[in-house]
Amino acid sequence: MHAIEPYWNWRHHYTAEEDERSPFFGTEHSEFEFSNAVYDHAIHPQWDNFGSSTLYMKVVFVDYDEGYAIIELIGEWNDLLHNDIMVLKRDIVEHMMAQGISKFILIGENVLNFHSSDDEYYNEWFDEVNDANGWIALLNFRPHVLEDMQSSNIDQYFLLGGKLNALPWRTFEPEGVFQNVESMVMRRLGV
């Protein structure tokens, strides 16, 4: 896992550590010290710790004018033991929503497992983005992770599956990813 870097090819467009409105503003990363780990597996030092011991993230792009963020995740999403959704919602999502972000694209190809608890924070997040004409879309999550989300009934809070789970997002610029996802979302919502 230590060789899996967060997506870097948009850094000429956006870096969260240089964005004064970002929850990661001023964060400094080492290229050589592997201080974060998912259990006993070191992860690349460019991933950002947001308070979970098993799930890390990288805000790879934000457009405040259009009100969207693209976030890449790595590790184990564990609500059962670590209440990852609470930490994500309170410390990252609420900060971003206060800055006008209401559309969230979560990239989960490096999310290895999902363990559910209750759906309180998912429901809260869904209601808040819905009130702001926003949405939460999941891209390229592994089939078994999606199945675990569906079996715990939190899939109702996300737009997921189908073409969203096969979008070759790295072949687009950030605006292209957003436009593709938004068009799929609008079709699903019947707008």
pLDDT per position as a tens digit, 5-23: 888 899 999 999 999 999 9
> What are the respective helix, strand and coil percentages of the chain, to the nearest 5?
35, 25, 40
Query: For residue 12, is it within any domain?
Result: no
What pLDDT does residue 73 have?
Answer: 97
Query: For residue 40, is it within any domain?
Result: no
CA atoms of 169 and 12, how far apart (whole Å): 17
With tokens 């098993």, the residue in question is: 54
Query: For residue 29, is it within any domain?
Result: no
Query: For residue 31, is it within any domain?
Result: no
Rg (CA), the chain: 16
For the chain, the average pLDDT equals 91
Residue 133 is part of a domain; what is its CATH number? 3.30.750.24
161: left (phi over 0), alpha (psi -120 to 50) or beta: left
Domain with 132, as residue range(s), is 48-189
CB 167 within 8 A of CB 177: yes
How many structural domains are present in the chain? 1
Higher-pLDDT residue of 2, 74: 74
Q: Is 1 a residue whose pLDDT tops 60?
A: no
What pLDDT does residue 182 have?
Answer: 95
Q: Cite the beta strand spans of the chain per DSSP E.
A: 37-38, 41-42, 55-63, 68-78, 103-115, 135-139
**CA nearest to 162, candidates 190, 184, 145, 189:** 184
Which of 5-9, 37-41, 63-67, 105-109 is least confident? 37-41
Query: For residue 28, is it within any domain?
Result: no
**CA nearest to 96, candidates 86, 107, 88, 85:** 88
Query: For residue 37, is it within any domain?
Result: no
CA atoms of 153 and 174, how far apart (whole Å): 30
**CA nearest to 104, candidates 150, 62, 56, 165:** 62
Query: For residue 43, is it within any domain?
Result: no
Residues 6+ apart with CB under 8 A from 166: 140
Q: Is 154 a residue whose pLDDT tops 60?
A: yes
Query: For residue 23, is it within any domain?
Result: no
CA atoms of 16 and 129, how far apart (whole Å): 21
